[in-house]
Structures are given as structure tokens and as C-alpha cells.
Amino acid sequence: MLGFLLLCITCSDYKKQHNISGEAMGTTYSIKLISSKNDINIESLKNDIDSLFIKLNKQMSTWDPNSEISLFNSWQSLEPYDVSDELVYVIDNSIDISEQTDGLFDVTIYDLMSLWGFGPNPKSSFPDNQKIKQIMQNSGYKNIKTENGKLVKNNENIKLDLNAIAKGYGVDMIFDFLINKGIENIFVEIGGEVRAIGRNKNNKKWSIGIEDPIENDVIQSSLSAVIYLSNKSVATSGNYRNIVNLDGEILGHTINPKTGLPIQTDVLSVTVLSELCMHSDAWATALMVMDYKTGYSKVENNPDIDAIWILEDSKNKQPYFSISGDIEISEMIYPIK
């Protein structure tokens, strides 16, 4: 997932801020811990955190041919397949969100994403309709289930891609690890997806900037708004950063799992707030696939999530915000409608 510039306001030295950063899951991570204590061993914590990331990659990375998920993808059998409790947990949550979103969130899209040039095996030309239909016959979240702590395929050709939920789960995993260490003020970010609790070093809520999907580039991005976060997670999905060039046409990475085609929408980005980051991650992807009215209705009827849309007015092509839920937001550069 994508869509964040992270703001850390530094004024007084109210409490000490401990920083940990590195690379993981094909991106970067940043952790901020606020404490008045001096007994936090940052080097030891970083070693433990990096070890957790290594374990997570061995479970859920499709880029590792020997990971649990890669071996499961190559398993062409309907017999139960033994995997880690963590992978079962993520798949259970994935299926639950698939059911809530009428299949517009779907982790059985590995072959579909590969067909359009995303994932470990990039392509350079448009797939033909027959190939899309063929792959669509071997996908669908109802073709995967968990049973007695194992994964089971209802279609032996099913392959999983957890890119729309695994990073959020990684945030939750590191967050829980730090909570269990007794740390009370925590900010965890992986590739722009965030979970935070407590206060920053100035005893204020954590402030997080939402990227402007109109004025941004890979090197330097501008902000469209700032939200304030405490004891919540947040993730953004949009089509403006992860792209592929097929036959000279630039396509965003969001694929509709029901049609097998890249989405066409007036939704520029969606930011989702919830308790668990993997839920924010997955719902942001699903809401990006949905048309705005359907997505807004879904959020309004779900007490566990809030959302911010940036949409483009079809008449004058001007962006605007739509907000559902109780979100503390400021510095908006577009109007709210």
C-alpha cells in the first residue's frame, strides 16, 4: 500500500524519542518510541524486529520461491496444506474482508496480477481477453479456506498474493511486539502504512500527512491534508505510485478481481483508519476498487472503519474530499463535499 508522508513535530524535548529504521518487505520501515526511561536497548530491539521481518518474509513473500505462500501456490492438490499460524490468521482475515466487500477484496489474484505485469514476473504487453478469462476461472476467494489450522484449495490452480494485507499485518506484528515490551508511546510505519498509540515527544497526537495524488512524484511529494492519530492504524490506496507500462500505456496497479481488468474510477485515493493495520490495508484496496457510492455506504455501515476519499469532479476535473467517520483532519488543500 502507499500514500503517506510522515510528519514528526520536534520542538521541546518533553520525552526522549528513540528511532529505529531499516528495510523490510520490499520497502522501508520507521519506528518511533517515546519514553522518559533510558533503559530501552535500541540495538537489541532492532535485531529482534529485523528477525521478525525475516520470519514474515519466509511466510508471506511471493518474491521468495521457498516461502510458505510460494510453496502453497505451487501445491496443486485439494488436500489440506500445513502452514504457520500467522499465515492462517492472515488468510482468515482476508476471507472475512472478502465476504464483507462482496469479493472486491481478494487474495487469490496472484496470476491475475502477474498477467498485468505486477509481481515477481513483469510483462510488457496487454494480455488478451481469452487469457484473462482463463485465469479468472482459477481465482476467487471462495476457492480458498482454512481448516483445522491448515490451508485448503477448492481449486488446485489457486495462487495467493497477500500484497494488499501482508504489509499491514507486518505493522501490527511489530506494534504488538513493542506493546509486549511495555512501551506505551509507539509509532510504526512500513512503506507508508501506520499504527500508533500514545503521544509523540511533545505529548501530542501523532500527525500523519496524506500525499496529494495530483501533485506528487517519486522523489518529493506534497500533502493534501494532515490527520491526527492515537491508538489507530491508517493506510492509503491509490493508483498514482505503483504503475506498469504496457504497450506504452501507463496503468495503475489496482485490479478489479471480478472483471480481471484495471479499475477506471474517479477515486484518486482512499485512506482508511481502523484498529488493526491489516484491516486498514485491505479495506483501502477494496474501497479503491469500488465505486465511491458503494464504498461510502460500506464504511457508513461498518463501525470498525473510517475513511477519507480524494475524488475528482467529473465536470471541472477538480479534486475534493469526502469523509466518513470521526477523523481529526486539518490543512486540507481541497474542499470537502
The pLDDT tens digits for 191-239 are: 999 999 999 999 999 999 999 987 655 444 689 999 999 899 999 998 6
State pTM to two decimals: 0.88
Can you give the pLDDT at residue 244? 42
Can you give the pLDDT at residue 197? 98
Residue 242 has pLDDT above 80, yes or no: no
* Mean pLDDT estimate for the chain: 87
Q: How confident is the model at residue 119 (pLDDT cuts 50, 70, 90)?
A: low
Can you give the pLDDT at residue 112? 87
Per residue in 104-118, pLDDT (tens digit) is 999 999 988 888 776
Residue 135 has pLDDT above 80, yes or no: yes
Identity of the highest mean pLDDT range in 29-38, 176-185, 213-222: 176-185
Can you give the pLDDT at residue 122? 55
Can you give the pLDDT at residue 109? 92
Distance between CA atoms of residues 152 and 324, nearest Å: 37
pLDDT top residue among 147 and 221: 147
Residue 126 has pLDDT above 70, yes or no: no
Can you give the pLDDT at residue 264? 73
Closest C-alpha among 163, 151, 143, 131 to residue 60: 163
Provide Rg for the chain, Cα atoms.
20
pLDDT top residue among 242 and 206: 206
Cell reading at 159 = 495462487
Q: How confident is the model at residue 123 (pLDDT cuts 50, 70, 90)?
A: low
Residue 136 has pLDDT above 80, yes or no: yes
Residue 279 has pLDDT above 50, yes or no: yes
Strand order in the sheet with 206-216: 4-7, 206-216, 221-229, 329-330
- Proportion of the chain above pLDDT 90, given as a percent: 69
Q: Is CATH 1.10.3980.10 the classification given to domain 59-153?
A: yes
| Sign for the pseudo-dihedral over CA of 251, 106, 83, 72 | negative
Can you give the pLDDT at residue 263? 75
Q: How confident is the model at residue 252 (pLDDT cuts 50, 70, 90)?
A: very low
* Beta partners for residue 147, in sequence order: 150
Can you give the pLDDT at residue 71? 98
Each domain of the chain, given as residue ranges in start order, spans 59-153
Can you give the pLDDT at residue 13? 46
Can you give the pLDDT at residue 171? 98
DSSP 122: -
Q: Mean pLDDT across the stretch 149-177?
A: 97
Can you give the pLDDT at residue 250? 36
Can you give the pLDDT at residue 253? 59
**Cβ(99)–Cβ(226) below 8 Å:** no
Per residue in 48-73, pLDDT (tens digit) is 999 999 999 999 999 999 999 999 99
**Cβ(235)–Cβ(284) below 8 Å:** yes
Per residue in 153-162, pLDDT (tens digit) is 999 999 999 9
**Cβ(113)–Cβ(127) below 8 Å:** no
Can you give the pLDDT at residue 251? 45
Backbone angles phi, psi at 56, to 5 degrees: -60, -45
Identity of the highest mean pLDDT range in 1-5, 54-58, 262-266: 54-58
Cell reading at 164 = 494488499
Residue 249 has pLDDT above 60, yes or no: no
